[in-house]
Amino acid sequence: MKIVQDKDGNIIEVSSDTPCHAGKNGALPVMLDAVKDKAVFDEMEERRAAWEANIDERYNKEVSKNRRKEYGTPEKQIEYLVEHGLDALIMRNQAIKVKHKKK
C-alpha cells in the first residue's frame, strides 16, 4: 500500500501497483515521495498547517519592524514633535501605518 493525493486533494491509500502520475489538471493520483507511513504524513500535514496559520503573524512582525524603522528612535520622534508639533507627528505616524498595513 502507498499513500497518494487524488485530483481533489484528498489523501488516500492505494495498492502499491496503482500507477501514479501528475496529469494536466492536477494529481491523478500522485505518490507522496518519502512518505510511506500515514502517521509521518499526518505529522507533516500538521506542521504545514501550523506554518500556514502563522503567515499573518510573520507578516505583521515584518510590518512592525518596518514601521519602527520609519518612526525612528524615540529621540528622533521627540525632535520631530518639538519641531513640527503634535498634529504633524500624528499625521506622519498615520501615513506610516497606511504605508505598512497589518493584516
Confidence of residue 41 (pLDDT cuts 50, 70, 90): confident
Residue extents of the structural domains in the chain: 2-53, 55-99
The predicted pLDDT at position 60 comes to 87
Helical pair 86-99 and 55-71, crossing angle rounded to 10 deg = 150
The predicted pLDDT at position 73 comes to 93
SS (H, E, C) the chain: CEEEECCCCCEEEECCCCCCCEECCEECCEECCCCCCHHHHHHHHHHHHHHHHCHHHHHHHHHHHHHHHHHCCHHHHHHHHHHHCHHHHHHHHHHHHHHCCCC
